Structure 1
Amino acid sequence: MISELGIIVLAGGLSTRMGTDKTRLPWGSTTLLGEMLRKAVLTECGEILVSINRELEESEAHIIEEARSFGRHIQLVPDTIAMKGPLSGLQSALSVGTREAYIVVSADMPWFSFHWLPSWEVHIDAFLQGELLAMVPYVGLQEYEPLAAIYKRSVLDTIQESLEGEDVSMHGVLDKIPYMEMDMIEEAELYSNVNTRLSYKLAKAKSANRERSVPIVTISASQSKSGKTAVATSLINRLSQRGIVVGMVKSDGHGFSMDQEGTDTWKASQAGAKAVAIAGPNGYAMVVHGESMQRQQQLIRLANEMPVDLVLLESRSHGVAPIIEVVRANHNDTRLQQLEDIVAVVTDIDDTLDGNTICEQFSFSDEDMDRLADWILKELL
């Protein structure tokens, strides 16, 4: 039964590639740790342990209190062996746990959920009665995810042995124990984690787009005449070929007119109409005059009202995340300042913009539009 399982949330990793504690990173209205606990307390699992190698900050206290408000006991377990990564956290948590087996999951997996538990209950029952020591998700391409697996407490001896040796990886433990493979290829996204600033930015961008009525990708540049429209139209063409219905919203800081003097709609506007619209057999259009909302809000509102699958928003200074920046050699010294929102660049500069820049972004050339279109569909939607 699922209630016989416990949950161990691993929140004490070294975060060396991120450069800061991943569990504290904002996610929605909480943090990555808070998001995982929100999901954990809704399960039928009988015990929840949080492996963590630091004191919670005062600003984080509400995360634990919120989880406990569901009537669940949340126990924080510090590492007993320092600087050994997630394996030492698992060893500490299993040592104090009272359940026969635990779902062990890393807090840096924002897409993870426990919705699969009911469909795997029969297999879990058989696992608990058998001699295997773990149930490990297989996510395809010869990849297993040991940081989102089910382990029996009896694996402790093997973990202790590994901690005393040189290989302290979770995969090293799997090589030493018998385990059941869980076919989770169709659910592979559940196991995507955020190990770098770039992967975190991409995860936030995908999350924002999934919460929007219509997903948005901004095409932006710090200077005019950079080729934003050329990039946008190339992407529209490629995405349309892939069956995506695309809309485009353009920000114009100089003002615009979509009407001609003397037409009926022009006369209505001159007479004081706040909004005019026209519809015909080939489409419809509407112009709203004098709205007081900020430009960015206007752009988002327009995007949300489009009957499309994806909106490309072209703007120099009013774009929203995720942003693809167009960078040219003749003005590389002037870049956009929205570093946390820039996920990729399109550039004509060779070998100078890559994932190691301060923006931590992917880089594409003007000839890479097919690859960029595929990347958008995979990473931003």
Structure 2
Amino acid sequence: MAEVTLFVAGDVMTGRGVDQILPHPGTPRLWEQAVTDARRYVELAEAVAGPVPRPAPAEWPWGDALRLLDEERPEVRIVNLETAVTARGEPAPGKGIHYRMHPANLPCLTAARLDVCALANNHVLDFGATGLADSLDALSGAGIRTAGAGRDAEEAWRPARVPLPDRRRLLVWSVGAPSSGVYPQWAAADRRPGVAYLPEVSAAAAEALAERIAREAGAADLVVVSVHWGSNWGHQVPDEHVEFAHALVDAGVHVVHGHSSHHPRPVERYRGRLILYGCGDLIDDYEGIGGQEEYRPELRLLHLPTLDPETGELSRLRLVPVRMRRMRLQPAAPVEARWLADLLDGLGAPYRTRFTLADDGVLTLTR
């Protein structure tokens, strides 16, 4: 059987300023303390990088990432979609930031030929149950599978199922933790829309999730758990995240796909399987926002793990560095790729992971 290469990414935030540059922008109104018009985020990006076309083509935010992905040819493409896809609903009360993309801008997502959007995060319900229902309908209508949110608990906890060759499947579960800003009241219930909510990140929570997985996954299936956890900034991984991820792998999960941080966090190969503690953002409108320059948040990564189809173990991991400029992804410069390689090398020391930087600018996990 052939190896299976995945494309996995962290937060894809196509609302707010990104939605405003696309062909069918929704209302620019925001309910933030400092910014009340989403077009302001476009102006901030233009102030640091130059003009952004308005309207831009639907594929604009992906930029050169589309070509790079076509060159790598992953079999399955998975992102955390941290945006409601709706033009309706009321903003969730008590929240400082709300994201939504107009459903007519769905070509922005289909341009990347996404297979799965993980939805158990702290923005999918920004416009309530109405916005969530619109999002689920829009994504399904576009042929994009979802996991982690639903009209009830059964749907929210149901994995996305992606067929693979030889009658195999890739199953993706998506869960969200309170440490990333997911509200307890957003938890899906028998008659309540919501997300697959993880009240705590612990070995016990991993065991409960593993029991769900065991009821669905067959011996030949590959299993990914996508988890929205932790703070937006900082490289430290809490001990409970490590215990949770290790417990999932011990129970048979093949990839733990972590996100929420706006920048990369450590990578670990545990018992031969991949744990990404934080993938960082991929698409957002943060380009002109200052205050966290030490993390170089404009630098992003396309994560391309290749799995052994028999064991699910990691055969190789390639990370393609890109950067956001004019609200569009482009290849990172050599000095930027080197900065990312040095960062991940340093972060990986406690996990005994090292990366090399090839002449083509791609980072490869070497141990």
TM range (shorter): under 0.3
Structure (1/2) with the larger helix percentage: 1
Of structures 1 and 2, the one scoring higher in RCO (CA 8 A, sep 6+) is 2
* Structure with max Cα Rg: 1
TM-score, normalisation: structure 2: 0.27
